[in-house]
Amino acid sequence: MNRIIRYSQPINGSLFPLFSARRACAGYDAADRVLESAFADFGAFASEPRFPVDLYEDKENAYVRAALPGVARDDINVEIANGQLSLSASRKNGEETVKFSRSVALPEGAQADKVNATYENGMLTVTLPKQPEVQPRKINLSVN
Amino acid sequence: MSLFNQIVPTLTRSFTRRDQSNGTVPQAEYTLKPAYELKENTDAWTLVVQLPGVAREGLEFTAEDNQVTLRAQRAWKRPDGWTALHRESVDAPYELVLEHEQNVDVEKIQAELKEGVLRVTLPKSEALKPRKIAVN
């Protein structure tokens, strides 16, 4: 793999457990499914501080997409410090305020000052431009 | 009174296979049950569904005699040239089916989608509301 961008895995403890469980085991039995569905029904809001994050890249940029439905734009914070991209958000759920946060290791060569974030349909997209690749140097050898 | 006696969540809907015979080869489609919350007061049920990535065009909310059905497609498609490095979400459409005992006033259902959160008000039919009876 000669990928220029390298991500470390997001913090494991904050993965959305239901998603990973569902994707990991395709052949779980009916009892598991009922149990899981029951948890999804009753515990969905309780387990919400973990929000799922997707990482993409293309030639020019790296992208982080986070599912943060129903959050006001002002309550979303995107910060870069110590090579980490930190996403945090808060949502008022009735009386109480729920806070979420995730951190993603910045890809090498990301230009921290040119980061751009958009929020649409409850999805946050952070665009991290890559450093323009260093042009390969051509060395002319004069052969005697 | 428990609201689960009246609006019963279907337990096995997540990632159910549905056969779509819209061509020569039937294709299996997986759906994802979204996170939702259901509240009850004397006049109505309030359903709040988390639908990140869904725009109004992709949302389909159907009310029938004994159930309400929600189908939602994500508005965003991965552009060409984007490589996924790490995925925690799925692209499957959302599907939520809630059954009720014909005690929802279907005509007066109101729904609002805002930043990936759908709020639906399901008013109770008149017969179910508490009624004061004058005693002579």
pLDDT of A2-50, one tens digit each? Answer: 444 444 444 433 333 333 333 333 444 455 544 444 444 444 444 446 6
**Start-to-end Cα distance in chain A:** 39
Q: What is the mean pLDDT of residues A96-105?
A: 86
- Below-50 pLDDT ranges, chain B: 1-27
Query: How much of chain A is helix, strand and coil, in % rounded to 5?
Result: 20, 35, 40
B54 vs A9, A44, A121: nearest CB: A121
Using an 8 Å Cβ cutoff, are B44 and B122 in contact?
Answer: yes
Using an 8 Å Cβ cutoff, are A5 and A130 in contact?
Answer: yes
pLDDT class of A56 with cuts at 50, 70, 90 = very high
Is residue A25 less than 8 Å (CB to CB) from chain B?
A: no
Is residue B55 less than 8 Å (CB to CB) from chain A?
A: yes
List the beta bridge partners of residue A56.
A63, B84
Residue keyed to tokens 């982080």: A64
Cβ within 8 Å of residue B9, ≥6 positions away: A37, A41, B98
The closest of B110, B121, B119, B114 to B55, measured between CA atoms, is: B114
Identity at A121, one-letter amino acid code: N
pLDDT at residue A17 in the model: 35
Cβ within 8 Å of residue A141, ≥6 positions away: none
Task: Decide if A53 and B115 are in contact by the 8 Å CB cutoff.
Answer: no
Q: Is the dihedral of CA B62, B63, B66, B70 positive or negative?
A: positive
pLDDT at residue B12 in the model: 42
Q: How far apart are CA A79 and CA B43, in angstroms?
A: 44
pLDDT at residue B52 in the model: 94
List the beta bridge partners of residue A100.
A89
Is residue A43 less than 8 Å (CB to CB) from chain B?
A: no
- pLDDT at residue A136 above 90? no
Provide the whole-model pTM. Answer: 0.66
Task: Decide if A20 and B88 are in contact by the 8 Å CB cutoff.
Answer: yes
- pLDDT at residue A95 above 90? no
> What is the ipTM score, two decimals?
0.70
Q: What is the mean pLDDT of residues A119-129?
A: 93
Burial of B7 (0-12, 13-18, 19+ CB in 10 A): buried
Residue keyed to tokens 């309550």: A75
pLDDT at residue B64 in the model: 85
CA angle B59, A55, B51 (to 5 degrees): 20
A55 vs B36, B51, B85: nearest CB: B85
Q: Is A107 helix (H, G, I), strand (E, B) or coil?
A: coil
The closest of B69, B56, B87, B76 to B13, measured between CA atoms, is: B69
